[in-house]
Amino acid sequence: MSKEMSGAEMVVEALKDHGVDTLFGYPGGAVLPIYDALFQQETVRHILVRHEQGAAHAAEGYARSSGKVGALLVTSGPGATNTVTGLTDALMDSIPVVCITGQVPTHLIGSDAFQECDTVGITRHCTKHNYLVRSIDELCRVLHEAFYVASTGRPGPVVIDIPKDVQFARGRYSPPHNVHHKTYHPQLDADMALIRKAVAMMASAKRPIFYTGGGVINSGPAASTLLRELVKLTGFPITSTLMGLGAYPSSGEHWLGMLGMHGTFEANNAMHDCDLMIAMGARFDDRITGRLDAFSPGSKKIHVDIDPSSINKNVKVDLGIVGDCGHVLEAMVRLWRSEAMHAEQPPLGEWRKQIDGWRARKSLAFRNSTTTIKPQYAVQRLHELTKGRDVYVTTEVGQHQMWAAQHFHFEQPNRWMTSGGLGTMGYGLPAAIGVQLAHPQALVIDIAGEASILMCIQELSTAIQYRLPVKVFILNNEYMGMVRQWQELLHGGRYSHSYSEALPDFVKLAEAFGAKGLRCYEPKDLDSAIQEMLDYDGPVLFDCVVEKSENCFPMIPSGKAHNDMLLADLSDDAGVDLGAIIDERGKMLV
């Protein structure tokens, strides 16, 4: 089946064979042969970004919303280094991405040639794996292996660095067939004995909770279906990380809302007081656990994860299960149904009552205003007015991201794309472009901040070029809001360089790019302005001018435990010194 062709043609063939229909990229000297091969075919659609970071985030958005591998193609040197933030982002959030970089010809490597950099050296720490292809004879294998490594096990970014002479060289290409890697064998099926043990623990739990994360989303839509099934069967309450939103519907009966630093009062208190925690595809990140030595002190913990290194990394657990969430959930559902394990399940009424008590605290409530738009209100209206539509949401990073997570409720997996682990400002717009390409008919909204959006604003030009009707909904408070909030809480209100000075006129900016610009100041005009944005068939920059001093609550202050949350109305009370609530050592934390 093998055919002779050039290295550049092999790259394009491999993209086709791995089902890549959309390739994000930016040409340059060291990838010209591949661009030439792209020019001569129509299967792979190339999307020209305006900056290589945009290509990486767009590939992430494409991958996260579709479940497929995201692909990008950039040139050597600056092309490669510009992808580093996006690759690191994909590594932290476990997103399958294959990044092809051009490299100077083999004989020039190491000579400080024009646009040369040590791409594999630079990206070694921000990829799951990377390759420098030294000979045409390796290229076919490396291409297939890269897709395999990126998409299996705990997914992640893979870089293939291809010197220009290898792109020109001719060699044999054969399509992928059951890639069997010599050393890389992720464990998908978990040990049944351990699952049985877990189910037995679940069957006798009095105050159980599911704590689920991005691993459930990554496992595929079937895992979310199984999760819903298991929650229904067991009746256990469920909370999720920022990354896991949508796996269980927010309208579901047992939903507690997101947990962690800006999670709900009920989710965090339930985590603290539970007697059994079932962590599923989540990694006990510091934004989730708060103070580690006070994290859920009285509970037994089960941790299901595909990555053995995640288990016992931050929090010691009682039962670690290595395997794919989908496989484990399937087995748990089967066991729970077939075996009478749950026959003696203790009643959960008391536990639910306790949770309802916390829920009654209404921790996401805020004081609305008739004169200024509260950012939470803006997100609520956006959610309300897009209900029933096929909607995907991306975000940038900061307060707006947390408000979006809290007030835009998700019913389905793969609908929520946000930079969780790395916290990359500038992620949202290029990611939205990737999402829109994967779902041309869908409504794609980037909920943004006025500071974040400027980090990758150039990609608006990409949206225009490919007629991608992404909506950028900017919560404009003229501050890097989360930085300002921390400065208020921890640094005596000294707002050092967090004011968004010299902002552009976003309406004119939109128009300059060829997009539609909208601005809204008053709560009474908000609905009609949002409607105007939704009705417009093209990209929109929506400048939503919101309350400047609003803080994001509830909040677990640094160095505090889950049951030690700051709530909105407390912080609104005059005379409460927030700086005193967070102790000296808490201020050391980020």
Partner 1 sequence: MTAPVSPPSPYSAAAKQSNVEAHTLSVLVDNEPGVLARVVGLFSGRAYNIESLTVAEVVHGEHLSRITIRTVGAPETIEQIRHQLERLVPVRKVTDLTIGGRSLERELAMVKVRGRGDDRTDALQLADAFRARVVDATTESFIFELTGKPEKIDEFVDLMRPIGLVEVSRTGVAAISRGPEPI
Of the candidate spans 274-282, 311-319, 328-336, 472-480, the one that interacts with partner 1 by CB under 8 A turns out to be: 311-319
Q: How far is the CB of 561 from partner 1 (least distance, A)?
A: 8
* 187: its two tokens: 């464990």
Among 29, 175, 220, 586, interactor with partner 1 by CB under 8 A: 586
Catalytic residue list contains 115? yes
Catalytic residue list contains 478? no
* 90: its two tokens: 């994909």
Q: What is the 3 state secondary structure string of 111-148? A: CCCCCCCCHHHHHHHHCCEEEECCCHHHHHHHHHHHHH
Between 9 and 324, CB nearer to partner 1: 324
From the centroid of its chain, how far is CA 255?
Answer: 20
From residue 94 to residue 123, the character string flagging contacts with partner 1 as x (rule: CB under 8 A) and all else as - is: --------------------------xx--
Between 181 and 232, CB nearer to partner 1: 181
Catalytic residue list contains 380? no
Catalytic residue list contains 16? no
* 284: its two tokens: 């006990």
Specify which residues 279 forms β-bridges with: 211, 303
Q: Rounded to whole angstroms, how far apart are CA atoms 497 and 450?
A: 15
* 24: its two tokens: 């994000």
User: In 277-370, which ranges are continuous DSSP H helix?
Assistant: 286-289, 325-338, 349-359
From residue 271 to residue 310, the character string flagging contacts with partner 1 as x (rule: CB under 8 A) and all else as - is: ---------------x--xxxxxx------------xxx-
Query: What is the pairing mode between strands 300-305 and 319-322?
Result: parallel
Which residues in 155-194 contact partner 1 (CB under 8 A)?
Answer: 181-184
Which residues in 551-570 contact partner 1 (CB under 8 A)?
Answer: 558-560
Between 145 and 266, CB nearer to partner 1: 145
Among 45, 206, 232, 316, interactor with partner 1 by CB under 8 A: 316
From residue 329, alpha-carbon distances to 29, 192, 299 in Å are 49, 12, 21
Q: How far is the CB of 319 from partner 1 (least distance, A)?
A: 16
From residue 6, alpha-carbon distances to 56, 164, 541 in Å are 26, 11, 43
Among 128, 164, 303, 471, interactor with partner 1 by CB under 8 A: 128
Among 197, 313, 491, 548, interactor with partner 1 by CB under 8 A: 313
| CB half-sphere exposure, 190, CA atoms < 13 A | 28
Q: How far is the CB of 586 from partner 1 (least distance, A)?
A: 6
CB atoms within 10 A of CB 347: 9
From residue 139 to residue 158, the character string flagging contacts with partner 1 as x (rule: CB under 8 A) and all else as - is: ----------x---------
Amino acid of residue 444: V
Residue 96 — left, alpha, or beta (φ > 0 → left; ψ -120 to 50 → alpha)?
beta
Catalytic residue list contains 482? yes
Among 46, 68, 129, 362, interactor with partner 1 by CB under 8 A: 129
Among 132, 190, 533, 565, interactor with partner 1 by CB under 8 A: 132
From residue 34, alpha-carbon distances to 101, 341, 348, 543 in Å are 10, 58, 60, 40
Between 184 and 536, CB nearer to partner 1: 184
Q: How far is the CB of 417 from partner 1 (least distance, A)?
A: 25
Q: Does 537 help bind partner 1 (rule: CB under 8 A)?
A: no
Between 158 and 247, CB nearer to partner 1: 158
Q: Rounded to whole angstroms, how far apart are CA atoms 143 and 100?
A: 9
Residues 6+ away with beta carbon under 8 Å from 239: 209, 210, 211, 212, 255, 256, 257, 258, 259, 263, 264, 267, 270, 271
Between 134 and 491, CB nearer to partner 1: 134
What residues make contact with partner 1 under the rule CB under 8 A?
120-121, 124-125, 128-129, 132, 134, 149, 181-184, 286, 289-294, 307-309, 311-314, 316, 558-560, 583-586, 588-589
Catalytic residues, which ones? Answer: 52, 114-115, 164, 482
